[in-house]
With several copies, the nearest count.
Chain A
C-alpha cells in the first residue's frame, strides 16, 4: 500500500468539499420549503470514503451508488445541476420528474440508478459486469455501495455471492456508519466487523477508518488495483458515522453523545491534515469552498428556472414497445 500523492489528496478534498457544499444547499432548500414533497438525503460524514472509491474508476467502469454517495456521484461526472434538477423534480433532470433524489443516475456517467430496495443493485452490477465479460470488454471494473443495514438483506447476499462465484471485477464498499436509520449495529449484525463476511464469500476483505481520507484513498486504491490485477471481488469496510439524520425529516435524536464523540467529521479533519502537511494554504482552501458554493448556487438558479413536467403532457406508459399487436421478431 503506497501513500497517496498530494495531487490525489487535493483532488479528493475538492470532491469532498463540492459534495458537502451541494448537500448543505439541499438541506437549506429543504428547511426553507424549497423541495416540493418528499425529503432530502445527504452523504455528510461519508464524503471521503465515497469519493475515494469513485476516484478509482476510469471511463467505461460502472458505479452503483446508494444513499450516502453524493461525493462519489460527483466524481463520476454528475454535476450539481444534474443533482438539483432531479431533487427539484425538473423535467430537464435525468429522471424527468418521474423519480427523485438519490434514485438519480444515468449509465451515461457509468452510474446505475438505484431503486429503494436495499441490496437489489448488487445483482444488477453483477449482470452488468458479466455482460462486459461476455462482450469481451475485459478492462472495465465495478464499484458498488452498501451500508451496515443493507448488508443483511437477502438481495445483498445472493448478489454478492454471484459476484464472487463469477469472480467478477468489483469493489464492494461497505460504509458501516453505525446506523441503519435509527437502528444501532448490534441489532443489525453480530460479528465484530462486517469485513468478517468477506471470507465466507471467498473474497478478500479490507478495512479502513472512514473518517481518515488518506486511509480511504490508500485502501480503496489497493482494492481497485487487486481487482484490475484479476484477483476478483474485494470488500472494503469503513467505519464512520452518518453526520445527519437518515433524511432531513429525521432529527436523529437517537444518536448518542458517545457515538458522536467517537467519530470526527472527515471534511475538516482532512482540511486540517492537508494544511498541517503544508499541502494546502488557507487561501486555497477558502477558494475551494467559495468555488464549490458558487457552482452550486449557479446550478440552483438554473435548475429553478427550468420547467417541471406537466401531467397533461406526460407519457403514461411503462412500456417501450407500444404496440405488441404488431410486434414480431424479425428473424
Chain B
C-alpha cells in the first residue's frame, strides 16, 4: 500500500485537518475526560514517550495516574484489562504491535470472550492493535490480527479506515459493554489526514458498514488500510473504463453487517473482497461464505477475493509491496469481474 489520502469525503471545510493518529489520541483524551472509569495500560505509554506510535502522547500529563506503563507482558496486560472491567473500570489497552498480541491469544479468546456467556457479567474492555504493513516492518511488525480474533465467539472486532471513524469508533468501543478489539492501521497513523469537526452531525453505529463510493457494476469490499486502495482502484476504473464500483468499508468485522454486504451485492451482482491479510480462513473467506450461502442468487459472476501472498510478510521493500493487493491489482481483478 502507498500513503493514502482520504477520499471518503468525511471531512467538512470548516473543521481543522488532523491525522488518523490524532483522532485516536483525541478520542482517548475525551474518553478519559468524560468517564472516570476509563484508564490506559500498555507498554511505553505511561512516560513522556507517549507510546511506540505516540498515540497516547500528552495523555499522562493530562491524566496522571490513569495512563500506566506495563511490563512486556501481553498476557497479563489482557488479564489486567479483564480484572479491571470486573472491578467496574473501562480499561483501554495498547498492544505495542498487533503481532505481539499473539501472546494474549488465550486471555482474549478464552477469558475475555467467554466471560459474558459463562457468567452473565459483561467485560467492557477496549484492546488497541496497531496493525498492518509498513515498508521494512518485516514478518513480526506488519500483521493484521482480525482473523484469529474473530473465530471464537465473544469479541467485537472493528477496524476504522477513516479519521472520523478512528475517533467515533474508539469512543463507541469504550462505551460498549462487550470486549472490543480495535484495529488501527499503522500506515494510516500519520499518512491519513482529514478535516475533522468535533461538533459534526451523527455518525454511523459501531456495527454498520459504510458505502464509501456508490456504484452499480462491481462491489469492492474491504476494511482498514485496504479501503483506500479500493477507492483508488474504483477511481481508476471509472476514469479509464467507465466502470462504476461500489466501495463498501466493513468497519466492523465481527459481527459483520451482512445486510449491507448483501444489499450491495444485490445491486451489482459482482463482488471482490480485498484484504491485506492472508486468505485462509480470513475475514475475506467469511464474507465469501456469507455471500455464497445467503446471497447466492444475487450473484452474476463468481465472487472473488484478493488477499496477501500466503507467506510471512517480507522485510525487503519490493517484496513487501508485492505481498499484498494494491489499487492496480484490485482494479485488474475488478475489471475481469466486470467483464465476466
Interface residues of chain A, those whose CB is within 8 Å of chain B, are: 35-39, 89, 94-101, 103, 106-107, 112-113, 115-132, 134-135, 149-150, 152-155, 158-159, 161-162, 165, 180-184, 187-189, 253-254, 308-312, 314, 316-321, 323-331
Contact = CB atoms under 8 A, between A and B. Distances in A.
Interface stretch (B17-25, B111-119, B218-226, B292-300): B111-119
Interface string B118-144: 111110000000000011111111000
Contact of B321 (A38, A106, A128, A311): A311
A329 B175 contact: yes
Interface string B181-215: 00000000000000000000001011110000000
A37 B319 contact: no
A98 B314 contact: yes
Contacts of A325: 205, 207-208, 257, 259
Given A38-B138, A115-B114, A188-B71, A329 B172 contact: yes
13 contacts: A103-B315, A107-B121, A115-B114, A116-B110, A116-B140, A131-B84, A187-B46, A309-B316, A318-B116, A318-B312, A326-B205, A329-B174, A331-B30
B154 interface: yes
Most chain-B Cβ atoms within 10 A of its Cβ — which of A103, A118, A189? A103
A32 B111 CA distance: 33
B310 to A, nearest CB: 6
Most chain-B Cβ atoms within 10 A of its Cβ — which of A101, A189, A317, A320? A320
A113 B111 CA distance: 10
B16 interface: no
Nearest to B80: A127
B275 to A, nearest CB: 17
A188 to B, nearest CB: 5
Interface stretch (B4-12, B99-107, B228-236, B239-247): B99-107
Interface in B316-340: 316-322
B89 interface: yes
B135 A117 contact: no
Contacts of B154: 318-319
Interface stretch (B47-55, B265-273, B281-289): B47-55
A96 B314 CA distance: 10
B73 A154 contact: yes
Interface of B: 30, 34, 39, 43-44, 46-49, 52, 65-66, 69-89, 91, 96, 99-100, 102-103, 106-107, 110-111, 113-114, 116-122, 134-141, 153-154, 156, 168, 171-172, 174-178, 203, 205-208, 252, 255, 257, 259, 309-312, 314-322
A134 B66 contact: yes
A128 B84 contact: yes
Most chain-A Cβ atoms within 10 A of its Cβ — which of B91, B134, B316? B316
Contact of A187 (B69, B102, B137, B312): B69
A138 B179 CA distance: 27
Given A182-B44, A320-B177, A329-B172, A37 B317 contact: yes
A283 B111 CA distance: 47
Nearest to B100: A117
Contacts of A150: 72
Given A89-B317, A99-B118, A327-B206, A107 B107 contact: no
Contacts of B168: 328-329
B39 A134 contact: yes
Contacts of A312: 322
B79 A159 contact: yes
Given A113-B119, A126-B83, A180-B71, A120 B178 contact: no
A108 B316 CA distance: 23
A331 B86 CA distance: 23
Given A120-B111, A153-B72, A183 B47 contact: yes
Contacts of A316: 309-311
A126 to B, nearest CB: 5
Contact of A103 (B72, B103, B138): B138
Most chain-A Cβ atoms within 10 A of its Cβ — which of B156, B259, B315? B315
A153 B43 CA distance: 12
A127 B81 contact: yes
B106 A127 contact: no
A254 B47 contact: yes
Contacts of A36: 135-136, 316-317
B49 A182 contact: yes
B319 A155 contact: no
Nearest to B121: A107
Contact of B255 (A181, A310, A324): A324
A165 B72 CA distance: 12
The 6 closest A-B pairs by CB, nearest first: A123-B79, A37-B136, A127-B83, A38-B136, A324-B207, A131-B87
B84 A308 contact: no
Contacts of B117: 98, 317-318
Contacts of B176: 321, 324, 327, 329
B224 to A, nearest CB: 18
Most chain-B Cβ atoms within 10 A of its Cβ — which of A132, A312, A327? A327
Contacts of A101: 138, 315
Nearest to B209: A325
